[in-house]
A and B are shown apart, each in its own frame.
Chain A
Amino acid sequence: MIDLLEHYAVAIMAILLGVVLAMFLVLIFFAILNRLWHNRGISRKREASESIQPLIYSYLDGSINRSDFAARLKNKHDITATWESIEIMIDNLSGEERKKLQMLLDLPPIKKHFLRKLNSRKPISLAQACVYFSKKTLTDKSIAVRLSVLQEHSYNVIAYAATLALVNTTNQGFRDMALLRFLLRKNNASMAVSDIIFKYYDISDDKEVAAEKLEFFVMNPDIPDKTRAAVIRMFPELGFYQTADTLRDLLQINVKNDPTGELTAALLGVLIDFSDQKLREIVEKHRLWESPSREVRLKVPGVYADIYGEETTRILLGLAHDPELEVRMAAQRQLLKHRPLISESRFEPDISTEWRAMKKSGDADVSNG
């Protein structure tokens, strides 16, 4: 009896081992197959890239035309290789070359490829499709509707790319709506906001109207302060000097109700850039050098860059005792500029000592720099 049981036990063990071994072999087989398939994909992609790039160059210099190029697109590797080359080139080239590259993006096989991706569920495909539509001029309303939906996507990068694409439409109403929808989102990255604002303004036919729209958006309290601050920081780059009055009004309204100080600091920074003559009044009225926000205090010395006098010196010396190093350094830098006009004996002994120490380190800074 025991022999029989042992016999069965051995047989079962052998079968189990056989099954495990077979599974192991099958797994190895699939792993090798997968690796071979992957390598084949990489080599086909490289081949496609090597053959497509010279074709793009020939197309750009007129050696072949758009139809000749289209006839050479044989498979998805060719389409991907075309897109990868054009995506970078289109950002780096201007004029005729850029127009010709945009015409290639409109080729039916390329457009079809990205339309499929636009309806995919994979975030990476959606992001790629949005970037594609942001590089070509968007005219199709049905795509605009889909992109509007993607602006609400939980992935910030997809919302950003969808907005870039929508801002690229020819319909001004769509562009404004798309921009507002994006600005109303929470947690937008400042860089993403700057990119979109720049594109929105850059391709606007009527720059004056675009500037007015942006001015209107920054007054909208429903847009998060961080986003409004990022939009405002773009104003000097876009040359919006005419917005100084609006920004000053916004500063007056906002200054008492800005817990993070982010919006106030952005407004101060831009108004300093604009050399606004009335800024000092607001700073002194609200004693912004006493603001709990480090960012706001950091901006205050810049307001006094070209304003000399007893009050200025008092404020700057106060900031020179700030607990934050960067604020102290900013104040010190301005004090060094004002130095010939300041009498040391007029200060309290401790301030005077601090002032001498600052002068000494400032001198060292200047001579080292």
Chain B
Amino acid sequence: MSQKVLIIDDDPAVSNFIKYRLSKKSYQVKHVDNGIEGLDAIRDFEPDLVILDMMMPGVDGREVAEQVREHGLIDPNRIIVLSGKKMTDEIKALFDIGIHDYIQKPFSIDLLLLRIERALASLKSR
């Protein structure tokens, strides 16, 4: 069965592109564009990996990660965060929550796909 990736990002052009590239690699991909729907999708879709954008209106990426840990929705180690800003304190806080990885925008799509594949492989081998 193909592995499931959930993208939580309010920017459709980029997240659709990530979805397009992941779908070509036979991943089962779902995209939602805000934090609240993201939390619902984590419960319902039960993703193997979450690609989470940091800057979103309303519930932002950090709040989503905190909620995931607080309510034990999935292991926070299944989250890769995307962010457009160098926010050292925010990134430290996210690693304290237990996220798997952090990728800064602008990013190379090939590098992102590689990090996703590696993350999924390492999570599977646990």
A interface residue numbers (CB < 8 A to B): 53-54, 56-57, 60-61, 84-86, 88-89, 91-98, 237
Contacts and interface: CB of A to CB of B under 8 A. Distances in A.
B45 interface: no
A237 B108 CA distance: 23
A94 B17 contact: no
A53 B31 CA distance: 16
Interface stretch (B8-16, B32-40, B57-65, B93-101): B8-16
B13 A60 contact: no
A273 to B, nearest CB: 13
B11 A57 contact: no
B4 interface: no
B21 A61 contact: yes
B61 to A, nearest CB: 15
Interface in B43-84: 84
Which are the 7 A-B pairs with shortest beta-carbon distances?
A: A94-B106, A95-B108, A88-B13, A85-B13, A92-B14, A57-B20, A92-B105
Interface centre among B17, B21, B110, B111 (most CB of A within 10 A): B17
A94 B82 CA distance: 14
A92 B106 contact: yes
B20 A93 contact: no
Nearest to A87: B13
Nearest to A95: B108
B86 to A, nearest CB: 8
A93 B113 CA distance: 13
Interface residues of B, number: 17
A96 B17 CA distance: 14
A89 B108 contact: no
A347 B35 CA distance: 53
B17 A89 contact: yes
Given A61-B21, A92-B84, A53 B16 contact: yes
Q: Main SS of chain A's interface residues?
A: helix
Contacts, number: 48
A190 B19 CA distance: 36
Contacts of A57: 16-17, 20-21
Interface centre among B13, B20, B109 (most CB of A within 10 A): B13
Contacts of A97: 108-109
11 contacts: A53-B16, A54-B20, A56-B17, A57-B16, A57-B17, A57-B21, A88-B13, A91-B105, A92-B84, A95-B108, A237-B86
Contacts of A54: 20
Nearest to B86: A237
B100 to A, nearest CB: 20
A92 B11 contact: yes
B106 A98 contact: yes
Contacts of A95: 108, 110-111
Nearest to B11: A88
B109 A93 contact: yes
Nearest to A53: B16
Contacts of A91: 84, 105-106
B88 to A, nearest CB: 11
Nearest to A84: B13
A88 B14 contact: yes
A57 B23 CA distance: 12
Contacts of B16: 53, 57
Contacts of A93: 14, 17, 106-109
Given A88-B11, A92-B11, A60 B17 contact: yes
B108 A96 contact: yes
